Every structure is written in C-alpha cells, then in structure tokens.
Amino acid sequence: MTILQPTPDTRPRRRRLVASPGAWLVWGGVVFFLVGLLGVVGSVVVNSFGTRWFDAWLPEGVTTRWYTQAWQDFGLSDLIVVTVQVAVAVVVLSLLIGVPAAYVLARRDFPGKKLIYLAFLLPILMPPITYGIPLATVLYKFGFAGNLSGVVLANLVPSVPFVIMTMTPFIEQIDPSIERAARMCGAGLRAVFVRILAPLLIPGILAAGILVLVRTVGMFELTFLTAGPDSQTLIVALFHSMSAAGIRAQQSVDAMAVIYTAMMLILLVIALRFVNPTQLVARVKEDPEP
C-alpha cells in the first residue's frame, strides 16, 4: 500500500494586508495627535493674520498689522535682546564649566563617580519647578534674583549637567593614546587640551552649545521664577500676555506666539544641522584607560 505524501506548497505566500487591531489603534492615535497639533498651530497662525474670525472656517480678512502691533506693544526688540543675552551667557558659562568636568569624568576613575553622575542627571530628569522654587528662594535671599544674573544662574543648574552628559561620550570616543603620545613629546596638560582635544571635540562642543541654546530659550519655569521686569525673556513675556486676557487683542498675542514658535523652529533646524542624535547616547562599551 502506497502512502501519498502531501506535496509542499511552493506558491509564494501573500503578505497580510490587514494589520492587527493594536497596530490600527496605535496609528489612529498618532494620526489623531498630529491632526490635533496641526489644527491648534494652524488656528493660531491663521488668527494672527485675520481681522475678525467668528463662526467661520476662515477669517473675514487678512492683515499683518497684528505683528507690527505686537512688536510695539510687547517691546519685542528688548525681549529678544534679553533672550539672546541670557542664552549666550548660559551657553558660554556652561561650556567653560561642563567641558573640563566631562573630561575628568570620562578619563578618571574615583570613588563616588556613579553618585556624581546621578547628581548631574537629577536636574535634567526632574521637572524644573521641583527645584526651581527653592532655588529662586535662595537667589532672592542673596539678592541675585530679579535681574539678569539671577536668570543666568538659575538656567546654569540644568545646563551644566546637560553639557557634561553630552560631552562625556565625545571624550570617551577619543583614544587616550593620543594624549599619552602628546605628553611623551613634552606637551603639558593645557597644550594637550587646547591643541589636541579641542579640535577633536569641536562637533561635541557645537552640539552641546546649540542644544543648551535651544533649551535656555525654551526654559520657562526657572526664568519665570527668577526674572524681574527688565530681565524677562520672550517666553515669559508671552505667558504674561496670555494671562492678561482682555488687555490686548487676541490676534496680537497669537502674532507674538507665532514669532516665538518661528524662533524656536529656526534654532531646532540649526541644531539638527550640527547634532547627530545618535551621538548623544553613544557610549564606548569598554571603560576608558585611566
């Protein structure tokens, strides 16, 4: 008696065109979020150019006078100058403090190193408001808050650890034998850092500086708690204009919001031109030589 064996099906199998319910749910949530976000941003942009807009898909007319009015009423030129001063000061001081500290953490092993890493991570991971209130209290007690120096000092608290965490992978990826060879040729620590490490660290320094710049311009909590009448940045002034409902036209407030959003988008585009996001999390698997 002969038993017939089933012949294998050699026809190519078609891929399933119907996704699982979980995938449809995830994609539906993503699409819903993007449509809602675009709707909110689009309504603000359209309203900033509209004359009147009630119970219609589009405003009755289009004008640019709200941007001129916002520039005059809010004093945007002074706000932009203060924002640039705070951001530049925070970037420079953060790099001057954070780069040498990152070098020490990347090249030296000492007791309590992991605890120091954890201490640097806390201001980055924690919401700024949790430590902003006691920090502002201390700054007001010693007379630093309420002016430009207080805003800069408050923004340094999360910015310096951010520079350290950003620069440490860049320093770890540089072969320590290059530094040893330079020392064998008679170069001192300063010459090694300025002539050898600095040129190699330029991409990391640019990445850290631009990211700190974006972070500082967008920092609201710490700036709001420590700023005075003459040291408000653009985002704090935008909050005050939104909270003072009825004093100014909503179109003027929306125009200011569009200017701030455009400023942040320009900074983000510049940051992505210089920053590779994968470099910020890249770490050398092997510990660097002491």
Residues 14-32: pLDDT tens digits? 555 455 777 788 888 888 8
Q: What are phi and psi of 147, to 5 degrees?
A: -140, -175
For residue 286, what pLDDT is reported? 39
Tell me which of 63, 85, 112 is where a domain ends: 63
For residue 18, what pLDDT is reported? 54
- Residue 17 within a domain: no
Residues 139 and 175 grouped into a single domain = yes
**Any residues with CB less than 8 A from the CB of 214 and at least 6 apart, and which?**
264, 267, 268, 271
Tell me which of 34, 63, 92 is where a domain ends: 63
For residue 16, what pLDDT is reported? 52
Residues 46 and 161 grouped into a single domain = no
For residue 236, what pLDDT is reported? 87
- Residue 8 within a domain: no
For residue 289, what pLDDT is reported? 41
What tokens does 214 get? 């974006």
Binned at pLDDT 50, 70 and 90, residue 283 comes out as very low
Q: What are phi and psi of 153, to 5 degrees?
A: -65, -40
For residue 281, what pLDDT is reported? 46
Question: Cα separation of 216 and 208, whole Å?
Answer: 12
Residues 31 and 127 grouped into a single domain = no
Residues 129-179: pLDDT tens digits? 889 899 999 999 888 888 889 999 999 999 999 999 888 888 888 888 887
Count CB atoms within 10 A of the CB of residue 15. Answer: 5
Residues 227 and 183 grouped into a single domain = yes
Residues 150 and 227 grouped into a single domain = yes
- Residue 144 within a domain: yes
Q: Give the chain's domain count.
A: 2
- Residue 3 within a domain: no
Residues 225 and 112 grouped into a single domain = yes
- Residue 172 within a domain: yes
Range of the domain at 171: 68-280
Residues 59 and 72 grouped into a single domain = no
Name the DSSP class of 5: P
Residues 184-222: pLDDT tens digits? 887 777 777 778 888 888 888 888 888 898 889 888 889
CATH number of the domain that 119 lies in?
Answer: 1.10.3720.10
Residues 45 and 73 grouped into a single domain = no
For residue 207, what pLDDT is reported? 82
Tell me which of 63, 80, 113 is where a domain ends: 63
Residues 59 and 100 grouped into a single domain = no
Residues 126 and 49 grouped into a single domain = no
Please tell me the pTM assigned to this model.
0.75
Residues 49 and 144 grouped into a single domain = no
- Residue 285 within a domain: no
Residues 51 and 121 grouped into a single domain = no
Percent of the chain with pLDDT over 70: 84
- Residue 138 within a domain: yes
- Residue 159 within a domain: yes
pLDDT, mean of residues 248-268: 81
Write down the residue that tokens 């910015």 correspond to: 159
